[in-house]
Amino acid sequence: MNTDFLPSFQSFAEPWLLFLADDPVLRMLQLGMLLLGGVVIFLVFYTTRDILLRTHSFLYMFVAIVLVALLPVLGFFLYLLIRPARTLRERELYDMVARLQQKSQKKVTSSKTAAKA
């Protein structure tokens, strides 16, 4: 069984390895470029997911994604500087807590004024 696996794997992998150079230096350069491309794709997808969670503005989303796509590493750091501080859900939660605090303060002040009267 193991003797059948290796030749079949080699025949499967051979067409995929043809695009790599025979020179080890060029091969490492090609693999480095593949790794860099993977990092750029990751940064664009991360930015897309993150900006979708932080705003409803299509223009803001578009500018953030294009910024990271055109200037991968520098654009990502710029995006981290200009992105909204909180997600939409965090803002909604903050607003809910603020409304609850206002209601509780109104109840406390109304009960204090009723107790004084």
Integer Cα distance of 42 and 83 in angstroms: 18
Kindly write down the DSSP assignment for every residue of 16-45, as one continuous string: HHTTS-SSHHHHHHHHHHHHHHHHHHHHHH
* Per-residue confidence (pLDDT) for residue 10, from 0 to 100: 77
Domain boundaries, the chain: 2-85, 88-117
Kindly write down the DSSP assignment for every residue of 53-75, as one continuous string: HH---HHHHHHHHHHHHHSHHHH
Predicted TM-score (pTM) of this structure = 0.72
Confidence of residue 93 (pLDDT cuts 50, 70, 90): very high
20-34, 36-50, 83-97: the lowest-pLDDT one: 20-34
Model confidence over 44-76: pLDDT tens digits? 999 999 999 999 999 999 999 999 999 999 999
* Per-residue confidence (pLDDT) for residue 15, from 0 to 100: 76
| Per-residue pLDDT at 27 exceeds 60 | yes
* Per-residue confidence (pLDDT) for residue 2, from 0 to 100: 58
